[in-house]
Structure 1
Amino acid sequence: MSVRLPLAARPLCASLLALVCAGSLAGCGGQSAGGVRTAPATQAQETTTPEAAAAPTLPSELPGLGPRTLAKIPAGTGQAVVVTGKGKNSPESTVVVYERTSEGWRAGAPWPAHNALRGWSEKHRMGDLRSPIGVFTLTDAGGRLADPGTKLPYSRSNGFSVGGTGFANEPLAGSFDYVVAIDYNRKPGTSPMDWTRPMGEDRGGGIWLHVDHGGPTHGCVSVGQDRMAELLRTLDPARKPIVVMGDAASLRR
């Protein structure tokens, strides 16, 4: 047979073959039940199902990004965490993890996220309560909890413990159970807890992807704990992962 079926129909393959055989024993054995030789079955023609015809083509460039942003993506990037803010002054955003394949960029499911209280800035400053806009590498991870299975270097420490409450009076405990350091004003290849600031202290730092606590951050991007564990298991330094982050309008430039 040369019947081409969509993935969702594969469990029906055995039933389909059984029906073909049952309809004419000659199609499987060359003879009818009475021993009379029959004409060989005609080979089924290839068909294109509506599902196959409607299969989407993967984009060759990361969606939602303009030429200025795309130009900053390093050559050879195979994984991209795209953080799209709802507005320049909004603390709410969406995270989508993309994997580059031979057919284009394949998107994961969108995750709700928080960013800094006052939104986004193209020139982040310490204490401005805005997240930096840009394209940054992702090289190091850590957290208070044990490594969930990441390929990134992982630093486990009780130093990732945090208390108190956030801007919405929500408890901050557990926010740093898992973190991925965003390589903004930091030294790649070190623990997220390393406070080296190559651009100077006034440009801020300590910008992480971390566990969401239910409210805006000081500058980081946060997603649910299960999503952070999934992200850590997904990121692979061999694929040169990056984060692309900013409000939607800025990213489209």
Structure 2
Amino acid sequence: MRKNGASRTAVATAALGTLLTLLSACGSEHPGGKGGNGAKGAAGSVTLTRPQTADHTRTVPGIGDRLHRRIPANSRQVLAVYGAGRNSADATAVLYIKHGSTWDRTRSWPAHNGKKGWTVDHHEGDRRSPVGVFTLSDAGGVLTDPGTRLPYTRDASFMAPRYWAKSHWHDFDYVIAIDYNRVKGTPPDDPERPQGDAKGGSIWLHMDHGSGTSACVSVSKPAMRYLLRTLDPRLNPVVVMGDRDDLKA
């Protein structure tokens, strides 16, 4: 049940008819089946003499002015996803938390993105993850809430189809919606796409299966649990994601 007590009756009804379409948004292509797209942070103070090392910087490392300007001024948590290359599915996810005027590197994890890499013009079915800055506002999954401050929806509708390869069955045990072409404040599997279906959607952070997705970003189960417990809506978390060249442009 959603922590804020909102009824899921209507959502569950809509999700039942669109379950395979929505879940395939974060899935991969599998034999025999078809995939589609797919420490609590707190603001604090620092002294002016704090050393500006790789772990304590005034800007998020590897992010150029173009994207840095899109990080909301009130955001104090940034998950940076550094893609290995424009056509690569390999990435590294790094969580930064801002204390005063300094971004502190907190944790990092291996990650995967779209199996064909990245794009600045994502469309449904291109199997590339969208480059950009996106808010993180809603979470959910098959498993119980691990202790997140984000609104969390537990529902069986997140379960991956069992005709997918077994290695993918737990992809959606935990998910965090990336706010690309979706309505914020709704469960991650809400089907509405304000910019139209062709623009793609259902882009999530979810659990990793060891290879590229169709559009989502995936990390390990321990990483997902850490992010769920650490991301705080009061700190306005965002994800900045893309291949390294596009990120630093």
Pairwise same-fold verdict (TM > 0.5): yes
Report if aligned partners of 2:96, 2:107 keep a CA contact under 8 Å in 1: no
Distance 2:167 2:163 in 1: 4
Cα distance per residue 1:39-79 (max 9 Å; x no partner)? xxxxxxxxxxxxxx995542111110111111111111110
Greater RCO (Cα-Cα under 8 Å, separation 6 or more): 2
Report if aligned partners of 2:204, 2:217 keep a CA contact under 8 Å in 1: yes
Report if aligned partners of 1:170, 1:215 keep a CA contact under 8 Å in 2: no
Deviation of 1:88 after TM superposition, in Å, equals 0.2
Counterpart selection for 1:209 from 205, 210, 217:
205
* 1:129 matched to 2:109: no
Counterpart selection for 2:222 from 220, 226, 231:
226
Cα distance per residue 1:10-62 (max 9 Å; x no partner)? xxxxxxxxxxxxxxxxxxxxxxxxxxxxxxxxxxxxxxxxxxx9955421111
Distance 1:165 1:54 in 2: 53
Q: TM-score when scaled to structure 2?
A: 0.77
Distance 2:107 2:91 in 1: 14
**Hey, what does 1:199 align to over in structure 2?**
195
* 1:244 matched to 2:240: yes
Moved over 3 A (4+): 53-57, 163-166
**Hey, what does 1:141 align to over in structure 2?**
139
Cα distance per residue 1:190-246 (max 9 Å; x no partner)? 000101101110000000000001111010000000110010000000000000000
Report if aligned partners of 1:150, 1:235 keep a CA contact under 8 Å in 2: yes
Cα–Cα, structure 1 residues 244 and 165, in superposed 2: closer, same or farther, change >3 Å?
Answer: farther
Report how many residues are paired.
199
**Structure 1 vs Structure 2 CA RMSD:** 1.7
Distance 1:143 1:54 in 2: 40
Cα–Cα, structure 1 residues 149 and 54, in superposed 2: closer, same or farther, change >3 Å?
Answer: closer
Q: How does 1:31-110 map to 2 (within 5 A)?
A: 56-57=52-53, 58-102=56-100, 104-110=102-108
Cα–Cα, structure 1 residues 164 and 214, in superposed 2: closer, same or farther, change >3 Å?
Answer: farther
Give the fraction of aligned pairs with identical amino acids, expressed as a percent: 48
Q: TM-score when scaled to structure 1?
A: 0.76
Partner amino acid for 2:173?
A: D
Cα distance per residue 1:70-119 (max 9 Å; x no partner)? 11111111100000000000000000000000250110232000000100
Gaps (5+ residues) in structure 2? 1-48
Cα–Cα, structure 1 residues 188 and 211, in superposed 2: closer, same or farther, change >3 Å?
Answer: same
Cα distance per residue 1:127-158 (max 9 Å; x no partner)? 00000000000000000000000000000001
Structure whose alpha-carbon radius of gyration is higher: 1
* 1:183 matched to 2:182: no
